[in-house]
């Protein structure tokens, strides 16, 4: 369980700046995806014990992200003054929260079966995961700019820099989508050797890893809306 001291510390930070917990929440998503990247590497190496350990770690991280999410939502229901629309902020928070949720789901699916496919598919998984992680890391950089925007009262130059990062996240998501589709085709070519259940399992993993980038791009788009509608 998350200690009460942790929740109180989040509340203290929120009182000082409502956007710092949002950054903390984004970083939890990043932590979950970084741990998932390690889990995918372990999965492709056949290290099921390490996959199980990392699955537990991701469960803990996802729960911490949920605590942050609930704290942010409860504080926004008060009379706190915000430089952006509260509804826009909540619309931004939802897809951001999905990043750790999807990482948790993919991590669980890694524990269900051992890797059993060609080396080409193995390399495809590693490449797809690396691209998705890169997208999330760029997104974390994007969220970090919110505090800078507040300090400069949303100066035109800083807003433009933030929006440029949103475009980069969207470009990364497109790259992930291309890799995902290519890998999915290779997975289905393995049916004769790994069977229908094996193909289904790998396809779910491919879809889940790609979905991390999708959720990240959606959150970046919501952040753009929040900034433009301030």
Query: How far from 120 is each of 164, 168, 178, 209, CA to CA, in Å?
Result: 35, 28, 16, 17
**Residues 71, 21 contacting (CB under 8 angstroms):** yes
> Could you tell me the pTM of the whole model?
0.89
50, 59, 193, 46: which is closest to 125 by C-alpha? 46
Which domains, from first to last, does the chain contain?
A: 4-228 (1.20.58.220)
Residue 29's pLDDT is what? 97
Six-digit token string for 199 = 């193909």
- Matching residue, tokens 């980069």: 168
pLDDT tens over the chain, length 230 residues:
555 555 455 445 455 556 778 889 999 999 999 999 999 999 999 999 999 999 999 999 999 999 999 888 877 755 455 667 778 778 889 999 999 999 999 999 999 999 999 999 999 999 999 999 999 999 999 998 876 776 667 778 888 888 999 999 999 999 999 999 999 999 999 999 999 999 999 999 999 999 999 999 999 999 998 888 77
To 10 degrees, the CA torsion angle through 110, 143, 65, 21? 170
Cα separation, 212 vs 210, in Å, equals 5
Residue 149's pLDDT is what? 74
To 10 degrees, the CA torsion angle through 75, 77, 83, 88? 110
Residue 5's pLDDT is what? 55
Six-digit token string for 26 = 């984004």
Residue 203's pLDDT is what? 98
């Amino acid at each position: 369980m998350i200690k009460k001291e942790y929740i109180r510390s989040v509340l203290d930070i929120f009182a000082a700046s409502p956007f710092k917990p949002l950054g903390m929440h984004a970083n939890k998503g990043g932590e979950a995806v970084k741990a998932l990247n390690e889990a995918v590497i372990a999965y492709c190496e056949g290290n099921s014990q390490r996959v199980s350990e990392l699955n537990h770690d991701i469960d803990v991280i996802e729960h911490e992200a949920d605590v942050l999410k609930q704290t942010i939502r409860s504080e926004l229901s008060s009379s706190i003054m915000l430089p952006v629309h509260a509804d826009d902020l909540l619309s931004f928070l939802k897809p951001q929260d999905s990043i750790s949720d999807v990482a948790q789901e993919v991590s669980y699916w890694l524990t269900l079966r051992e890797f059993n496919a060609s080396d080409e598919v193995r390399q495809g998984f590693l490449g797809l995961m690396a691209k998705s992680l890169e997208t999330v890391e760029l997104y974390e950089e994007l969220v970090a700019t919110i505090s800078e925007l507040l300090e400069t009262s949303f100066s035109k130059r800083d807003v433009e820099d933030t929006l440029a990062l949103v475009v980069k996240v969207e470009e990364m998501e497109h790259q992930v989508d291309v890799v995902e589709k290519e890998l999915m085709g290779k997975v289905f070519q393995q049916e004769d050797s790994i069977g229908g259940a094996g193909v289904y399992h790998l396809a779910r993993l491919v879809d889940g890893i790609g979905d991390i980038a999708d959720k990240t791009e959606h959150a970046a788009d919501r952040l753009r809306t929040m900034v433009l509608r301030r």
